[in-house]
């Protein structure tokens, strides 16, 4: 099945422009860390795995966690824009199909 042409609505243009901006500045942080920096007391966490960070490391680890979170948020925003653009493309193709169906001459029979 052929992908439909891109919709030209202002919202679609805004989404495409935002995606380009994010992709242009997106770089995998080489020292980025997943998750969050949680200062917790040692206690049973059930199945949840919590990595303990020594207090004297907190100031050096926190920026790495922030870089990891910013990267993850940018990827999530790009994927959300892709999903919205796909929905717009689907709606756009339905409108085009309806117009073509109306324009198409009916066979004489």
| Residue 46 confidence (pLDDT) | 65
CA distances from 1 to 4, 30, 68, 86, 87 (A): 9, 39, 37, 14, 16
Tokens 């919202």 locate to 11
Helix, strand, coil abundance in the chain, percent, nearest 5: 60, 0, 40
- Residue 75's pLDDT is 94
What is the domain partition of the chain in residue ranges? 25-103
- What is the pTM (predicted TM-score) of this model? 0.65
Q: List pLDDT tens digits, range 50-66.
A: 778 888 999 999 999 99
The predicted pLDDT at position 98 comes to 72
- Splitting the chain (109 residues) into consecutive groups of 10 residues, what average pLDDT does each group show? 66 90 90 74 63 87 92 93 90 75 68
Is the CB of residue 7 less than 8 Å from the CB of residue 89? Answer: yes
């Amino acid at each position: 099945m052929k992908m439909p042409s891109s919709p030209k609505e202002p919202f679609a243009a805004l989404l495409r422009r935002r995606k380009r901006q994010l992709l242009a500045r997106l770089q995998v942080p080489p020292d980025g860390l997943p998750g969050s920096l949680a200062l917790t007391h040692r206690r049973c966490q059930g199945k949840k795995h919590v990595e303990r960070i020594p207090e004297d490391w907190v100031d050096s680890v926190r920026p790495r966690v922030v870089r990891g979170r910013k990267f993850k948020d940018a990827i999530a925003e790009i994927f959300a824009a892709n999903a919205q653009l796909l929905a717009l493309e689907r709606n756009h193709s339905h409108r085009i199909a309806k117009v073509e169906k109306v324009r198409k001459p009916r066979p004489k029979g």
